[in-house]
Amino acid sequence: MSGASRPNGVRQGLAARRFVLTVEIVTPRTREPFEQAIRPLLVLAREVRDDPRIDAVALTDRSRSDQDHDPILTGHRVAEESGKMPIVHWAGKDRILRHLEADLQRAEALGLDTFLLVTGDKVRQPPGGRPVRYLDSVNALAAARQRSQELLLAAAVSPFKYREEELVNQYLKAGKKIRAGADFLMTQIGWDLRKYEEARRVLNERGYHAPLMAELLLLTPARSRRIRRVGLAGVTITGDLAQRLEEEAASRDGGRGFAFRRLALQTASVRDLGYAGAQVSGLDTYPDIVRLLDEVERATRECPTPEARRQAWRELLTLQNGRAVQVAPAHGLYLKPGAMGERSGGARAREWARFRIMDVIDHLLFKEGAAGARVLAPVLRRLDARSGVGRLLLRVERAIKGPLVGCQTCGFCRLPETAYVCPETCPKGLANGPCGGTKDNVCEFGDRECIHNQIYRVSKRAGLLAHLEETLIPPVPETAWDSCSWVAHFRGEGPKVTRLPGDRA
């Protein structure tokens, strides 16, 4: 069966507004030869072929290691065996735009048209001798959409954030992702039903009616221990939830029955909340998938109303001492209806002072028509940024901007678009908003506050939150690094920021 004629269950299900179910499978590591490594996946693909309850198999991209097998080639083989269009994950870690363009071309030749585009978690073993670049998911979505209007594109959103900055930033970036080209959104993994409800409500309030799917995980005691030990970017397992899982571990089957019951109730609950579907992970065999589907039917039969299912969920998340499991951090933030970004507070004094100083400098020296620009432009636009004078200016730029904003001399300054917080001080170099890996406002890398918290605080005080949601900021070109951005600016080679259209859905 050719790619062009292969049924796309996800596309059809979303169009028909029925609940979509996909199964996420981790693409294997490259330590085994390709054909040997994907053999279990092909067995699973053949088993789901004739099961109409399963709309697609989703293939992860380097989630197990930095050297997992190619999800595009794996997806092609899975599609051949299952007869169903897969969802291919594509992560921007250690990649730039030309890698995306080449991969989309390969996928197109193999008949694949459905992708979840994410920035990706941090590289586990950075390569020596060169920096690791991350292609922001917003830039990836915009490039993929520009390439083809026929692609079915998904993007991620993480509502499981409990501080104002990181939470509101997730919703602002979700809006930007939809504007950039996402057809539907998929949540991060979590167990807080209030947050699932919040995400759907907030997006609706902001006019984003794109379908929303939930990423769900079969959470066993062993899996919980591993996540809490080694971490899973953006995923929160509280001490209470871990305690409940350890209580379940004492059961005859080691807690697996409870895990399936919990996943079934969660699947039914997000359906009750108006989600378009669920993508379930942690199910490695077809019998496990069938068990979940049977559990969903049983939970729906035994608990025939949404409130009955919520009550069953609460009972399942109760400790043996009768206390309710807290699945969120203490004092975590939940947005009230219509209240996004309206809480008191804003930029800290130092952040605001820097913004004001940098904004004055920008308007005096760099804005078109400004007095300083009229003097500098005729001189700098004739320079070569790689010339001797250009290199001298680069040193001057670094000496001035380094202490002020931590300038990384990327040669492609986007400071006016990011509240004068240098996006290159983000370990992933993200300019269009944060990734989903923060926890309690701390960067996934664990060594700093997420810089997008600062951008949010300053933008909020300056009345520029809409700017964070509506503008597409381009990535740094390969050729720009270690050159003077002032020269590029006046030569017209600096960032071309575009305003994104409204909701596509």
Neighbouring residues of 271: CB distance < 8 A, sequence distance ≥ 6: 19, 278
Look at residue 323 and tell me if it is in a domain: no
Whether residue 126 is found in the same domain as residue 265:
yes
Which pLDDT belongs to residue 502? 82
Q: Length of the chain in residues, anyone?
A: 505
Which pLDDT belongs to residue 1? 38
Beta bridge partners of 442: 439, 449
Query: What does the alpha-carbon distance between residue 87 and residue 90 come to, in Å, rounded to a whole number?
Result: 10
**Residue of 120, 135, 88, 82 lying closest to 107 (CA atoms):** 88
Whether the predicted pLDDT of 342 surpasses 80: no
Note down the domain range covering 214: 3-316
- List helix spans (H) across 158-285: 164-180, 193-205, 221-230, 239-249, 256-272
Tokens of 302: 């035994």
Encoded amino acid at 184, one letter: F
Q: What does the mean pLDDT of the chain come to?
A: 94
Whether residue 234 is found in the same domain as residue 89:
yes
Whether residue 379 is found in the same domain as residue 261:
no
The SS3 of residue 466 is helix
Whether the predicted pLDDT of 430 surpasses 70: yes
Query: What does the alpha-carbon distance between residue 137 and residue 144 come to, in Å, rounded to a whole number?
Result: 10
Q: What is the pLDDT of residues 245-293, one digit of tens each?
A: 999 999 999 999 999 999 999 999 999 999 999 999 999 899 999 999 9
- Cβ distance 9 to 84 under 8 Å? yes
What dihedral angle (degrees, nearest 10) is formed by the CA atoms of 343, 349, 355, 357? Answer: 150
The SS3 of residue 232 is coil
Whether residue 237 is found in the same domain as residue 299:
yes
Look at residue 504 and tell me if it is in a domain: no
Whether residue 246 is found in the same domain as residue 355:
no
State what percent of residues in the chain have pLDDT above 70.
Answer: 97
**Residue of 81, 39, 84 lying closest to 58 (CA atoms):** 84
Tokens of 21: 């179910």
pLDDT band for position 362 (50/70/90)? very high
Give the CATH number of the domain where residue 284 resides: 3.20.20.220
Q: Determine the distance from the C-alpha atom of residue 352 to the mean position of all C-alpha atoms in its chain, rounded to a whole number.
A: 28
In total, how many domains does the chain have? 2
Q: What is the 3-state secondary structure (H, E, C) of 54-65?
A: CCEEEECCCCCC
Whether residue 256 is found in the same domain as residue 164:
yes
Look at residue 44 and tell me if it is in a domain: yes
Burial of 442 (0-12, 13-18, 19+ CB in 10 A): middle
Look at residue 332 and tell me if it is in a domain: no
Q: What is the pLDDT of residues 453-477, one digit of tens each?
A: 999 999 999 999 999 999 999 999 9
Which pLDDT belongs to residue 505? 54
Whether residue 278 is found in the same domain as residue 426:
no
Look at residue 338 and tell me if it is in a domain: no
pLDDT band for position 126 (50/70/90)? confident
Q: What is the pLDDT of residues 213-254, one digit of tens each?
A: 999 999 999 999 999 998 899 999 999 999 999 999 999 999
Task: Compute the Cα dihedral for 88, 91, 94, 98 and give only its sign.
Answer: positive
Placement of tokens 């409870």 in the chain: 258
State what percent of residues in the chain have pLDDT above 90.
Answer: 91
Query: What does the alpha-carbon distance between residue 460 and residue 196 come to, in Å, rounded to a whole number?
Result: 25
Which pLDDT belongs to residue 128? 80
Encoded amino acid at 122, one letter: K
Beta bridge partners of 59: 25, 88
Whether the predicted pLDDT of 2 surpasses 80: no
Whether residue 78 is found in the same domain as residue 143:
yes
- Cβ distance 178 to 432 under 8 Å? no
Whether residue 219 is found in the same domain as residue 359:
no
Look at residue 402 and tell me if it is in a domain: yes
What are the DSSP calls for 442-475, one per residue? B-TTSSSB-HHHHHHHHHHHHT-HHHHHHEEPPP
Which pLDDT belongs to residue 167? 97
As a whole number, mean pLDDT of residues 126-150 equals 94
Domain boundary pick from 293, 316, 339: 316
Whether the predicted pLDDT of 21 surpasses 50: yes
Which pLDDT belongs to residue 341? 59
Tokens of 244: 């409940």
Look at residue 343 and tell me if it is in a domain: no
Which pLDDT belongs to residue 3? 47
Q: In this predicted model, which residue has the larger pLDDT, 56 or 504?
A: 56
Whether residue 271 is found in the same domain as residue 213:
yes
Domain boundary pick from 295, 316, 337: 316
Q: How far is CA 430 from CA 133, 260, 404, 435, in A?
A: 10, 37, 19, 8
The SS3 of residue 289 is helix
Look at residue 337 and tell me if it is in a domain: no
Whether the predicted pLDDT of 340 surpasses 90: no
Q: Determine the distance from the C-alpha atom of residue 148 to the mean position of all C-alpha atoms in its chain, rounded to a whole number.
A: 21
Whether residue 226 is found in the same domain as residue 298:
yes
Whether residue 308 is found in the same domain as residue 364:
no
pLDDT band for position 345 (50/70/90)? low
pLDDT band for position 347 (50/70/90)? confident
Task: Compute the Cα dihedral for 121, 125, 127, 130 and give only its sign.
Answer: positive
Whether the predicted pLDDT of 344 surpasses 70: no
Which pLDDT belongs to residue 346? 77
- Cβ distance 484 to 385 under 8 Å? yes
